Structure 1
Amino acid sequence: MARNKNLRESITNQLLDAIQLGHIDSPLPSQSALADLFSVSRTTIRYVINDLCDKGVLEQVGDCCVIGRLPVEDDGYVAAMSEKDIQTVEFETYFNDAIKNKHIMPGQEFTELELSKQSKCSTTVVREHLIRFSRFSLIENIERGRWRMVRFEKSYAASLFELREMLECHALSRFMNLPRNDNRWKQALYLLHEHRELRETVVSEYQAFSELDHKFHRLLLSASHNPFMDQFYDIISVIFHFHYQWDNSDLRKRNMVAIEEHMAVLSKMLSGDDIGAMGELRHHLQTAKRTMENSLIMDNLKPA
């Protein structure tokens, strides 16, 4: 029964997308033609059509089915995640937390089996994530099932910042062109309030900044509407958001500075000052770059 339900909801989402994109016109093709198109039974198609008729997206007019209105987001269904998908999300969270909490350090070796036991995820899920992660030269495969976290040099950090600046400056340009009724402007205003609140308590709660930092940069990148940027930022965030290889002795001071810089960017954005917002963002990214370069120097000075 669960399989049938998932199939019907999946076909409903596909039909809604086809209508929204204009791939299917009104009146709709026959149920037999739709069944062939989506490679399902006519029983499944009848269920989908009845469901969308109840929602008002479709209307039955004689022997024909016509489009009553364009679909909205609430007409569809949230796709059910498979067990593997769930484990993939769980392991990504575990792996990022392990780096954040310094359970996995630069130069450290580990095995897929160890991570599988610690995260309670299958070795297949662990291996696939490590392979994806290794493409960015942050971990390397030593031998079958064994990996090492790589130390990266100043040149790597410089390349990473070059990419980060391109992504975020492009996203900011897109953000500033969003219509004023876009909900993300409200999110930006609320985020500014959150920064002001944390600024008042940052001396004692400075570690709470990491979540706010993630929300700030994610909000900027959301305006790009580019899934490839999201994938790159997922990797970049492991380094910057989780302070990979950083000396955290001055974390409180760094976070206090970053809060002020975030607020400067958000204030310029909300006032409609495109040039000012871009200048503040570049200034913030340069501060982060200097921090990482200094931390790499300090790391190299530590005794082996």
Structure 2
Amino acid sequence: MDIGGQLPAETVLADRMDVSRTIVRSALQKLDSDKLIRWEGRNKTLIRKPEPEHRLEVEEGTLSTEELEQRFFEWILRFDVPAGTALNVAQFSRQFGVPVHNLQEFLAGLSRLGLVERRPRGGWFLLGFTSEFAIELSDFRMVLELNAVRQLLTLPPEHEIWQKLETLKQEHEDLKAVLKDRYHDFSLLDEKFHSAINSVVKNRFVLEAQKLIKLIFHYHYMWDKRDELERNAAAIEEHLEWINAILAHDVEKSEAAALKHLRRSKVTLLQSLRGHKFA
């Protein structure tokens, strides 16, 4: 590209590179932070050529469990994989570049969460994201995040979470100011916010569930685009109400704000399912 040239739209880049819009957005944000492009609303202008130091080092070896989870969920959600689909482990092994035995262990973990099931004669099939699954997951999410809020409010002033929340508050305000042009960016900020809240809980028994919750509630923003601007605007206001209550160390308002947002998230997830093949 020539200096001053315009990058294509995110959807075009995602299709051209065969990756999700989330990955494209992350790459664009890095190009913007490295001052290689100027990102203004929908316009992304090349302002200087990349140098070798701008390249990320390629990690050797197979995917980590976290990366495999992300690839698997992206595959389901990007390609509208319906419930009841047989899962070809050998094909996944080639597609994701991981050994068959690692995939078997991964699917066994998902089976404990009710997402997949072993077939009587061998192999696996997808149970899918049903409305019942979404309701159970949402209710469990409320229990975990309310517990996280209560633990967070007991932490000392020097704990890193307080600076994280101040930074997140500013990031929400910044996005709110340009939301009309960059409302697609909310899904990444939503994931970052909820991850920060949950990071204060060090309980090995909820970590696996938290990863699943994060993936489902993050990715449902990718498959349902109806009223996306309005929904994201409402969610930003709810996040800010929640953050301000925590920063004020107000237990009652913090829990009320958490419940308000989590209940609305449950409703939007169920609405997404009803408008999608997974329901």
For the criterion TM > 0.5, the same-fold answer is yes
Supply the distance in 2 between the matched residues of 1:165 and 1:137 (Cα, whole angstroms).
19
Does the 8 Å contact 2:131/2:273 carry over to 1?
Answer: yes
Give the greater-gyration-radius structure (CA): 1
Match of 2:117, SS? strand
Q: Whose relative contact order is higher, 1 or 2, with alpha carbons under 8 Å and at least 6 apart?
A: 2
CA shift for structure 1 position 224: 1.9
Deviations 1:177-232 (A, max 9, x none): 11011111000100111111111222222222222111111111122221222211
The RMSD of aligned alpha carbons is: 2.7
* Of 166-175 and 120-129, the range deviating more from structure 2: 120-129
Match of 2:33 in 1: none
SS of 1:248's partner is coil
Task: State the secondary structure of the residue aligned to 2:231.
Answer: helix
Matched pairs, number: 220
Structure 1 residue aligned with 2:82, among 106, 109, 113?
106
2:127 matched to 1:127? no
Query: Is the CA contact 1:221–1:230 (under 8 Å) kept in the aligned structure 2?
Result: no
CA contact (8 A) 2:88 2:124 kept: yes
What is aligned with 2:55? none
Give the AA of the match of 2:102: V
Task: Tell me the CA shift for residue 163 of structure 1.
Answer: 0.9
Whichever residue aligns with residue 70 of structure 2, its letter is T
Q: Distance in 2 between matches of 1:142 and 1:165?
A: 32
Of residues 71, 78, 83 in structure 2, which corresponds to 1:94? 71
C-alpha change, 1:176 and 1:220, in structure 2 (3 Å) is same
| TM-score (norm: length of structure 1) | 0.65
Normalising by structure 2, what TM-score?
Answer: 0.70
Alignment of 1:173-188 (within 5 A): 173-188=150-165
Residue by residue over 1:16-50, the C-alpha shift from the partner in whole angstroms, topping out at 9 and shown as x without a partner, is xxxxxxxxxxxxxxxxxxxxxxxxxxxxxxxxxxx
Deviations 1:136-167 (A, max 9, x none): 11122336664333234433322222211110
Task: Return the alpha-carbon distance in structure 1 between the equivalents of residues 118 and 140 of structure 2.
Answer: 25
**Is contact 2:142–2:259 with CA below 8 Å preserved after alignment?**
yes
CA drift of 1:105 comes to 2.0
Q: Deviations over 1:89-148 (max 9, x none)?
A: 432232233234x23523233311111111111112122111101211112233666433
Aligned partners of 2:80 and 2:277 also within 8 Å = no
For the residues of structure 2 that align with 1:162 and 1:89, how far apart are their CA atoms?
Answer: 24
1:7 maps to none
1:87: Cα distance to partner? 4.0
- Per mean C-alpha deviation after superposition, the further-off stretch among 148-157 and 168-177 is 148-157
Task: Give the C-alpha shift of residue 291 in structure 1.
Answer: 1.2
1:82 Cα shift? 11
Indicate whether 1:252 and 2:229 are aligned: yes
1:290 alignment counterpart? 267
Q: Which runs of 5+ in 2 are unaligned?
A: 1-58
2:197 corresponding residue in structure 1: 220
Q: 1:226 to 1:301 in 2, by over 3 A?
A: closer
Alignment of 1:1-304 (within 5 A): 86-100=63-77, 102-103=78-79, 105-107=81-83, 108-142=85-119, 146-243=123-220, 247-299=224-276
SS of the residue 2:245 aligns to:
helix
What SS does the corresponding residue of 1:148 show, helix, strand or coil?
strand
- Once residues 256 and 136 of structure 2 are traced to their aligned partners in structure 1, the CA distance between those partners, rounded to angstroms, is 20
Distance 1:196 1:155 in 2: 35
In 1, distance between residues paired with 2:181 and 2:244? 25
Following the alignment from structure 2 to structure 1, what is the Cα–Cα distance between the partners of residues 271 and 81?
18
Seen in structure 2, the aligned counterparts of structure 1 residues 162 and 90 have a Cα distance that, compared at 3 Å, is closer
Distance in 2 (alpha carbons) for counterparts of 1:239 and 1:88:
16
Q: Is the 8 A contact 2:145 2:198 kept in 1?
A: yes
Against the structure 1 CA distance between its residues 207 and 150, is the aligned structure 2 distance closer, same or farther, given a 3 Å change threshold?
farther
Give the secondary-structure state (helix, strand or coil) at the position aligned to 1:259: helix
Aligned equivalents of 1:143, 1:249: Cα separation in 2: 39
